[in-house]
Amino acid sequence: MITGYIAAFATLFAWTISTFVLAKLTRLQDAYTLNKAALFFSIFLLGPLVCILDGLAPWQLFTLPSSSNWLWLGISGILGKSAGDYCGFCAFRILGARRRSMISTLGPGFTWLAGLLILNESMNWLGIAAMLFTVVFLLLLINNSVEKMEVQKENFGTPLTGLLYGIAAAALTGLAFILSKKTFIETGNNISAFHATWIRIIAAFLALMIVDTLRNNHTNFIKPFLADQQKLLLLFAAVLFGAVLGLSFSLIAITKMNAAVAYTIFSLLPVSVIVVSVILFKKKISLLSWLYSLLAVAGVLVLVWREDLIKYF
């Protein structure tokens, strides 16, 4: 149990660092090039880790998964990583770390909606109410005059554009999660979650390469990072803390402790981002923004614990 808690808070720590790194990096490099480079480096960082943890030879990364694994995880990767991460990077660029992390709390709601449509999963009325509660306070937060003025002052895009990109990222990520889950509920599935993530990443990267070929776009996506040490270090940190350490610790957490408790700790990401913004970056956040943020996170916590809380109603 202690191992699970340590892993869960390590996940929160890694994702917090990744959030600030990406917020910085997306304002130095366009989202499309950044997404492709992040996927490329993730393939080579995560691949050896999968081989070590699962005891696989390198060629088994390709041969062990079934055709069904490749199909559903490939589609999941294209939707979640190719398209979803692109939208997420665009939202980071416009909204910054704190506001972008708040919109990511919509992820569980979209995951449930996709599960309802694809896997016939259900949810009680309390969970639905919690999702609506979260959405309302997120909209109030983004539409807050102080927040809107800050976004407009930073001049990377309009608050509405950032919000739409953030919602699209959450929706695509939720759908991608359910498609990934589909391959794990199949009889005879024999690949690990790490291996599944690697398949999603390589499928996403290959999809972007095909798009570039169709567009006759052969721009060197690695050169901007090799030519700029700051960009290269930020990219390495984003991949390391997000795709490698964050993923690894999160999988350890949900296997070593109650999954609902683990997801509760993960959902504290917006709070940790706010605290770091105030303490390290000396950001001044209005009382109203604090209130809306905490209420939105409270909605996510109710969503996670809905099955236990419903007993009291």
Higher-pLDDT residue of 172 and 290 is: 172
Output the pTM of the full model.
0.87
Tell me the average pLDDT across 76-103.
91
Distance linking the first and last C-alpha atoms of the chain: 30
Q: What is the mean pLDDT of the chain?
A: 86
Sorted by where each begins, the domain ranges of the chain are: 2-312
Q: What share of the chain is helix, strand, coil (3-state, %, to 5)?
A: 80, 0, 20
Q: What is the dihedral of CA 53, 55, 56, 61, to 10 degrees?
A: -20
* DSSP string of 129-157, one letter each residue: HHHHHHHHHHHHHHH-HHHHHHHHHHTSS
pLDDT band of 235, cuts 50, 70, 90? very high
Which residues, 6+ apart, have CB-to-CB distance to 162 below 8 Å?
90, 91, 94, 95, 99, 100, 142, 151
Nearest to 15 by CA among 140, 100, 74: 100
> From CA 271, how far away is CA 287, in angstroms rounded?
14
Tell me the average pLDDT across 207-218.
89
